[in-house]
Amino acid sequence: MSVNTANMKNHIATAGILGLAVGDALGVPVEFHDREFLRRDPVTDMRGYGSHRQPPGTWSDDTSLTLCLVESICEAGINYDDQAQRFVGWMLRNEWTPHGRVFDIGNATREAIFRLDQGVAPTEAGLTDESSNGNGSLMRILPIAIYLAHAQQAERNAVAMECSRLTHGHPRCQLACAMFVEIAAAVVRGVELSTAVAIARETMASLVATRAASELKTFARLLSPDLEMLAESKISGSGYVIHCLESSLWCSLNARSYEEGVLQAVNLGEDTDTTGAVTGGLLGLRFGCEAIPDNWKRQIARKGEILELCGRFQDVCQRRWEIDQ
């Protein structure tokens, strides 16, 4: 089988990463606001200031850590020590920040990166307690899906789960990352999103049962074909990893366009930047870079540098795809 040349021409790596950054930036100004607030004043366009007092087009830790991972893959392939050092560089030296400083970071991610800086082994740094099941590894996992889109499923699963462990070590977070990676990788290969989700549900049921059978109940809605048919009132915008994956899939499956889906994700409220980022990355893959409104793309902080990095990433991915096929 040859590499999907249509995806190559469309620069799908750029579509996914830029889609994530735009979704993140749309959510930053309204992070922590609830759904009722956003019903009264919904996000309909790129706006600024608000929750974090940042100018329009500012992305958060979601995009920062995603770009760290992209750069790591470009420079070192899958190398957890290299990833760890780049995460430390972001948090402690403000590398890959939109305006020269870190302004948003989750507690579990902060603790894990401090542990990385202190020399804890990368795949042992993420906390494993029940209360450390936020979406901080899910928000940055998309580059793994793109890079390993044509690899064997077992390798994708293993890398997604190990990559999660740098900041989030609980099996629930690891498995959520693995599921998202399976879905996004299939979309990169040209599979329709609904089909990609259906296939991932079958394979993930077995993986969850094998790796952490006690999590099957937690993953029940994600593994059910009824998720996308739920009413919005049943979908949460919280930062809990299961809620984030559910809401992102719900928005992505029901969206008729990038714009519609990412705005719906942000307007769910609460952890708006991360729900926007995860949804935006998947919808970028689904609809392509041209589907992201030009006005939104123009305002993204450090857009030129992001596009340059994405171009390098596309080249690295294509070489890996050729090897894997």
- The tens digit of pLDDT for each residue in 96-138 reads 999 999 999 999 999 999 999 999 999 999 999 999 999 999 9
Query: Which whole number is the average pLDDT over 293-298?
Result: 98
- Per-residue pLDDT of 34-56, as tens digits, reads 999 999 999 999 999 999 999 99
Res. 307: pLDDT tops 70: yes
- Per-residue pLDDT of 78-97, as tens digits, reads 999 999 999 999 999 999 99
Query: Which whole number is the average pLDDT over 9-34?
Result: 94
Provide the token pair at 321. 């795809």
Residues of the chain above pLDDT 90, percent: 97
Q: Residue 210 — very low, low, confident or very high, per pLDDT cuts 50/70/90?
A: very high
Q: Residue 156 — very low, low, confident or very high, per pLDDT cuts 50/70/90?
A: very high
Q: Which domain holds residue 143?
A: 5-324
Q: Residue 7 — very low, low, confident or very high, per pLDDT cuts 50/70/90?
A: very low
Provide the token pair at 147. 């890079």
- Per-residue pLDDT of 165-181, as tens digits, reads 999 999 999 999 999 99
Query: Which whole number is the average pLDDT over 22-37?
Result: 98
The closest alpha carbon to 13, from 289, 304, 296, 320, belongs to: 289
Res. 5: pLDDT tops 70: no
CATH classification of the domain holding 66: 1.10.4080.10
- What confidence score (pLDDT) does residue 258 get? 98
Res. 4: pLDDT tops 60: no
- What confidence score (pLDDT) does residue 227 get? 97
- Domain count within the chain: 1
Query: Which whole number is the average pLDDT over 228-248?
Result: 98
- What confidence score (pLDDT) does residue 285 get? 98
Res. 274: pLDDT tops 60: yes
Query: Which whole number is the average pLDDT over 271-292?
Result: 98
Exposure b/e, 299-322, CB count within 10 A at least 16 = b: bbbbeeebbebbebbbebbbebbe
Query: Which whole number is the average pLDDT over 229-255?
Result: 98
Query: Which whole number is the average pLDDT over 190-195?
Result: 98
- What confidence score (pLDDT) does residue 10 get? 54
Res. 8: pLDDT tops 90: no
Residues of the chain above pLDDT 70, percent: 97
Res. 315: pLDDT tops 70: yes
3-state secondary structure the chain: CCCCHHHHHCCHHHHHHHHHHHHHHHHHHHCCCCHHHHHHCCCCCCCCEHHHCECCCCCCHHHHHHHHHHHHHHHHCCCHHHHHHHHHHHHHHCCCCCCCCCCCCCHHHHHHHHHHHCCCCHHHCCECCCCCCECCCHHHCHHHHHHCCCCCHHHHHHHHHHHHCCCECCHHHHHHHHHHHHHHHHHHCCCCHHHHHHHHHHHHHHHHHHHHHHHCCCCCCCCCCCHHHCCHHHCCCCCEHHHHHHHHHHHHHHCCCHHHHHHHHHCCCCCHHHHHHHHHHHHHHHHCHHHCCHHHHHHCCCHHHHHHHHHHHHHHHHHHHHHHC
Average pLDDT, the chain: 96
